[in-house]
Structure 1
Amino acid sequence: ERGLKICVWINPYIAQKSPLFDEGMEKGYLLKKPDGSVWQWDRWQAGMGIVDFTNPDAAEWYKDKLRRLLDMGVDCFKTDFGERIPTDVVYHDGSDPVLMHNYYSYLFNRAVFEVLEEKRGRNDAVVFARSATAGGQKFPVHWGGDCSANYDSMAETLRGGLSLCLSGFGFWSHDISGFERTAPPDIYKRWTAFGLLSSHSRLHGNESYRVPWLFDDEAVDVLRFFTKLKCRLMPYIYSTACEAAYKGIPTMRAMFLEFPEDPTCLYLDRQYMLGGSLLVAPIFNNESTAQYYLPAGKWTNIISGEKIEGGSWRTEKHDYMSLPLLARPNSVIPFGKVDDRPDYDYADGVEFHVFELSDGACAGSDIYDTGGRKVLAFKASRNGNEIVMEAADVSNGTGAGGHDRQWSAVLRGVERAVSVVGGTAEATDRGLRIIPGKGITSVRVIL
């Protein structure tokens, strides 16, 4: 009724007092010792056993328990643990216990993902997994585990996430403000900006609730601001998600993926590209100082509108409502019209922001519906003082397209035009907004 989707926390361990323990033991579904008895441990759940996913019947038994939860209305599962696996055990299929440290997590997440595909459909299945190995990218999403609530750990978290994304994983998340202990308000607010500019965002911790009003009033404002910004950026972020799914290019990218010819980008681990067009440089200190490297070209901070010439290192001061969030030159960033939820009709009322389009350049952006189908293709090209913008319906009857959805464009930093053919223009504090006529798919602007 409230439009919420529910994710339930699970793991592959079963406490001895659970009725499922006796059932699993009687059917031979739990890991065994060499003498044939069930392997047990007290360090997480008293007398716990571990499901043996190398046994197809055990995997099916576990999946059946999850089906009951899905029938109640659960939408997805957080698959915690899976990497804490003993070596003094015997597997159903004879697997080497030493080699199972990685592979067990694959089997665990695969079983959960398969039942989600079965019950929710192929395009709507998602887990939120901690453990992973090669092949685990097929069962997204993953998060970085139990980081600490300090700036060093925040920086380590980004480094680890970029490493994961360089290893074939398309999506990545982390516990905003750290998991272990409670962050001071300063770290909470800085990590909030970083977290909301990640592919997936979660407030989570161990010793206290992570709701912003428990930190200070400004934390509420910061969380609200960056949540609304992310919602408006969802047409862009979701297009990068589709690119990750279809092409294997991660949503959060180490700088050298986008700038392989720039040697300075080879070692950068405190900044990243969100998709191919947005540079993010989180702030990792209590002095409000951002230090980052900006590749060549004229970049635009999409929050402040400031234009910055690249090709050098930068040191800047930022309040909590800001950070280096820079649009790449010769790029198009689509902004949605909704700022209070992440899933909506991204093509309806989309506003394409065109940044620093140089003479002879062409830039574009594709809009997808929430089913992963491309519905609108936009491109802008410049020849001298003429800019042509086109939006094409590519839905083929499967979704919202250019002909029945009103779109607009903003030429960032442009103050006026000599003429506009196919639409009208209005000046804004961000640049010249171009509004095409009804049913018009191509607009020509003379500067």
Structure 2
Amino acid sequence: MKFRDDRKGVESAMPDTQNHEARRHPESEHFDHQAASDGIISVETTHWAGAALKGPHFDLFPDGQPQIEPQVSKGDKGTTLSAGALSATIHPDQHTFDIRFHSTDGSKALTSLLGRSVGLAYNPAPSNPMQTGDMRDFRHYIFTQTTLGIGESVHGLGERFGAFNKVGQSISLWNADGGTSSDQAYKNVSFWLSSRGYGIFIDTPGKVELEIGSERCSRVQTSVQGQRLKWYIIYGPTPKDVLRRYSVLTGKPSTVPSWSFGLWLSTSFTTNYDEATVNSFLEGMKERDTQVDVFHYDCFWMKAFTWTDFVFDSERFPDPKAQISRLKESGLVKKVCVWINPYIAQHGAAFKMAAEKGYLLKRKNGDVWQWDLWQAGMGLVDFTNPDAVKWYVDCLNGLFDQGVDCIKTDFGERVPTLDVEWFDKSVDAHKMHNYYAFIYNKVVYEALQARYGTSEAVLFARSACAGTQRFPLVWGGDCESTPEAMAESVRGGLGLGLCGYAFWSNDIGGFEGYPAPWIYKRWVAFGLLCSHSRLHGSSSYRVPWTIDNDDRSEEGCSRTLAKWTALKTRLMPYLYAQSAKAVENGWPLSLRAMCLEFPEDQTSWYLDRQFMIGDSLLAAPVFEESGEVEFYLPKGKWTSFFTNQIREGPGWFKEKHGFGSMPLYVRENTILVLGKPGIKGAVYDYAEDVEICLYQVHDGANAKLVDNQGNALGTLKIGSDGKLEGKELLGGSWTTSDNGRKVEESYLKTIQWL
């Protein structure tokens, strides 16, 4: 149901800004409000309704739009449109522009559109309306300003590496290859989450400019170039509820296979390598007691400057199918991944045919669009051409035929908007810039699904826009090998998780530069507690013995990596069960921002150096060479995973850790299922020979059990008599630890409470 509000002349001229040099009274704007789903209302403002509405458009409600019976009522406060739990009330005075968004039960005021909050702008400013008869020399913008409440914080908007709370920031949603140390982002997602219990999804893949309490301290301004601006307001009341509804609107994350949670090892980006190098890496890892589940061939599996032509370098890899087969048969690795991108170099085997067939993006004069950025004569695959998609999938199938199991979809941000013409003439080149990440990753992900099955597909993607959470997974891009960059990566992962991304990874040790041993080891601890874990660098390797001259001591890089890989392996029964919950609800598995679990704790909305792993584990990475770390525990009893010592929150705490530990705390009333010590690899029987660890449990505590294919086995729970129920689900020699897990006393010597 739509509710239209046509009010003219209610907006005042606004001060000039960098992006909008002229503000004008809207003389023909109208608003459409629509009840989209339970707890979701769309808001659309239009200036000239006759403007062409070019694509691409976000694929909304991909699993079907839930039925909603909207209600319209009138009262003293105005006319109210209700979409289940969310309502919008329009002021009864026809001369007052006032739209209030609130919970239908009246318990929560969310945000508003008030006077001077909707308008349009021209750039440059016309001196009289007659000039707008020819719009070729003018840019037209439309904007809205929603109110910010006192103390309200704003989060999300993709993988952003700056301050976690976006209030006070100016943000451009425009994909760029900028690393992790600037306000540029690879993954711009037009969704933000408010601490007041709602979220806003901006329904355009084009560039969005946001002034979040920056141009006007009490408002969030959203502006786009064009004649229309549409967004959805999504009610909670909790942030978990907001994300659950957002995932219905833009798509739920897909399931990833259990093997993908194991350790991934890369050759690094610009390093040369061959079969002997690969074997030496994997044999070295095995010798040092670390199992690698996925080996990743980065760009030099192809000849230099032929990227991407899908052809293995015949000098280094004369028989790639046989080599990959030997790797798997040896038990050194379970799966193999290769690096690709959507750029086609003219020196590669694929370019000539792709250009002749029209598979590459063209300039308006008919030439293939090319430039020399990244590599000489680079073209770009035009995924709006169905034949180009088929060709690209055929190339991928050729890799699958050789034993490749998963794909790293790198790049996808350098997409031109000027002097280009897509095969699909109905698309706007400006909107294609961000949206390209969606179609690129969708094509590759669905090719993997077609070959290996719906739940076996895995990407390692860098670029993203709204909706790509459906094609897991993503990693954080090019970070430096510094503690500051590790903190930037944490912030990026937290922000992206608040946009419905269940799975996230980063380059352990940092991508650029040469990590000092202490940084590498602290990053190993952080990286192995992310949902997915990969060792990867730029021009230097990330196998541990190259970092510290093969220090074999307990505090050396090799033993540190072995310990944390073993810990993640033991956590797999918990992690895989939690991943199913994350997929179902659109929640991040890890990194999960503290505010998702503790929204009533105001401190949780500002914590950007720690995170939850699922519902019950709290982790705080160490960023200091000394091993000192400060972290916050919300209300309740928290048990150290490593020592079983108990702290009680809320409060800030300080500790000092050796390289084999960090603040890792278990929430009270948790049943934590751990795999058998010493098991290798992420895939095993998650219900056999397990340790059932009880942490201050009482009646109702429970833990879901799943097998390594993600099938539900049942639930362990504490009954009214205080005893564990569901034991029949367990096999082998399982044990129960009543007051936390069985710990190693050595940790009592390496962890200090300060």
- In the superposition, the TM-score normalised over structure 1's length comes to 0.88
Check the 8 A contact 1:170/1:249 in 2, yes or no: yes
Moved more, 368-377 or 26-35: 368-377
Aligned to 1:326: 665
2:723 to 385, 388, 413: 388
Q: CA deviation at 1:207?
A: 2.0
Higher mean Cα deviation, 41-50 or 186-195?
Answer: 41-50
Q: 2:455 aligns with which of 117, 123, 130?
A: 123
Q: How does 1:234-249 map to 2 (within 5 A)?
A: 234-249=572-587
SS of the residue 1:86 aligns to: coil
Match of 2:683 in 1: 343
Partner residue of 2:336?
Answer: 6
2:516 paired residue among 184, 205, 217: 184
Q: Residue 215 in 1 paired to residue 215 in 2?
A: no
Question: Do the aligned partners of 1:14 and 1:45 also contact (CA within 8 Å) in 2?
Answer: no
**Is 1:158 aligned to residue 490 of structure 2?**
yes
Aligned AA (1:143): W
**Aligned equivalents of 2:361, 2:442: Cα separation in 1:** 18
1:90 alignment partner, one of 413, 421, 426? 421
Deviation for aligned residue 1:190: 0.5
Corresponding letter in the other structure for 1:6: V
Who is 1:26 aligned against? 356
Provide the alpha-carbon RMSD of the alignment: 1.7
Query: Which residue type is aligned with residue 90 of structure 1?
Result: E
User: 3-state DSSP class of the match of 1:292?
Assistant: strand
1:411 partnered with 2:738: yes
- Offset at residue 413 of structure 1 (A): 5.4
* Structure 2, gaps ≥5 residues long: 1-328, 746-754
Contact residue 348 and residue 407 of structure 1 kept, 8 A: yes
Partner of 2:405: 75
Report what 1:261 is aligned to.
Answer: 600
CA distance change for structure 1 residues 413 and 145 in 2, over 3 Å: closer, same or farther?
A: closer
Question: 2:515 is aligned with what amino acid?
Answer: A
Greater RCO between the two (CA within 8 Å, min separation 6)? 2
1:319 Cα deviation from its structure 2 partner: 1.0
Q: Does 1:317 align with 2:640?
A: no
Task: Determine the structure 2 residue equivalent to 1:396.
Answer: none
State the distance in 1 between where 2:599 and 2:460 align. Answer: 31
The residue type paired with residue 681 of structure 2 is R
Cross-structure match for 1:368: 706
Q: Secondary structure at the match of 1:295?
A: strand
What SS does structure 2 have at the residue aligned with 1:311?
strand
Q: Distance in 2 between matches of 1:375 and 1:117?
A: 25
Report the more deviating stretch, 168-177 or 210-219.
210-219
Q: CA deviation at 1:243?
A: 1.2
Which of the two has greater helix per residue? 1
Instruction: Report the Cα offset of residue 429 of structure 1.
Output: 5.8
SS state of the match for residue 722, structure 2? Answer: strand
Alignment-mate amino acid for residue 611 of structure 2: Y
Aligned partner of residue 513 in structure 2, secondary structure = coil
Q: Distance in 1 between matches of 2:577 and 2:377?
A: 46
| Equivalent position of 2:612 in the other structure | 273
Does the residue aligned with 1:66 lie in a helix, a strand or coil? helix
CA contact under 8 A between 1:199 and 1:251: conserved in structure 2?
A: yes
CA contact (8 A) 1:413 1:430 kept: no
Write the distance in 2 (CA, Å) between the matches of 1:7 and 1:69: 10
Is 332-341 or 23-32 further displaced after alignment? 332-341
- 1:56 alignment counterpart: 386
What is the one-letter code of the residue matched to 1:246? E
For 2:743 and 2:570, the matched residues in 1 are separated by 18
Cα distance between partner residues in 2 of 1:222 and 1:356 = 30
Provide the secondary structure at the position in 1 that maps to 2:560: helix
2:473 corresponds to which of 138, 141, 146: 141
Q: CA deviation at 1:306?
A: 1.9
Tell whether the 8 Å contact from 1:171 to 1:200 is kept in structure 2 after alignment. yes
Write the letter of the residue equivalent to 2:352: D
- Asked whether the 8 Å contact 1:142–1:172 carries over to 2, the reply is yes
Shift of 1:249: 1.8
Aligned equivalents of 1:350 and 1:301: distance in 2? 20
Give the SS at the match of 2:580.
Answer: helix
Conserved 8 A contact 1:305-1:430: no
Alpha-carbon deviation of 1:140? 0.1
Offset of residue 79 of structure 1: 0.2
Please say if 1:102 is aligned against 2:434: yes
Whole-Å separation in 1 of the counterparts to 2:447 and 2:732: 36
Please, which runs of 5 or more residues in structure 1 have no aligned partner? 394-400, 415-427, 432-447
- Does the CA-based 8 Å contact 2:641-2:740 persist in structure 1? no
SS at match of 1:300: strand
| C-alpha separation in 1, matches of 2:740 and 2:340 | 50
Distance (whole Å) between structure 2 residues aligned to residue 392 and residue 56 of structure 1: 53
Count of residue pairs the alignment pairs up: 405
For 1:13, the aligned partner's letter is Y
For residues 310 and 54 of structure 1, the distance between their equivalents in structure 2, rounded to whole angstroms, comes to: 53
3-state SS of paired residue (1:19): coil
Query: 2: CA distance between counterparts of 1:413 and 1:85?
Result: 52
- The answer to whether the aligner puts 1:230 opposite 2:568 as a matched pair is yes
* Whole-angstrom CA distance in 2 between matches of 1:177 and 1:72: 30
SS at match of 2:364: coil
In 2, Cα distance between equivalents of 1:117 and 1:144: 24
**SS of corresponding position for 1:98:** helix
Give the structure 2 partner of residue 378 of structure 1.
716
Tell me the alpha carbon deviations over residues 59-85 of structure 1, each in whole angstroms, 9 at most, x when there is no partner.
111010000110111101000001111
- Partner Cα separation in structure 2 for residue 189 and residue 49 of structure 1: 40
Q: Deviations over 1:320-345 (max 9, x none)?
A: 11110000011111101153211111
The partner residue of 1:113 within 433, 438, 445 is 445
The 8 Å contact of residues 229 and 339 in structure 1, kept in 2 or not, is answered as no
Kept after mapping to 2: 8 A contact 1:282/1:324:
yes
Identity %: 50
One-letter code aligned to 1:300 = T
Q: Is the 8 A contact 1:336 1:349 kept in 2?
A: yes
How much does 1:287 deviate? 2.2
SS in 1 for 2:578: helix
Return the alpha-carbon distance in structure 1 between the equivalents of residues 433 and 501 of structure 2: 19
Whether the aligned pair in 2 keeps the contact of 1:376 and 1:392 (CA below 8 Å) is: no
User: CA deviation digits over 1:79-130, x for unaligned, max 9?
Assistant: 0001111112111112212111211010000000111011000010111100
Distance in 2, matches of 1:22 and 1:141, equals 32
Q: Name the SS of the counterpart of 1:362 in structure 2.
A: coil
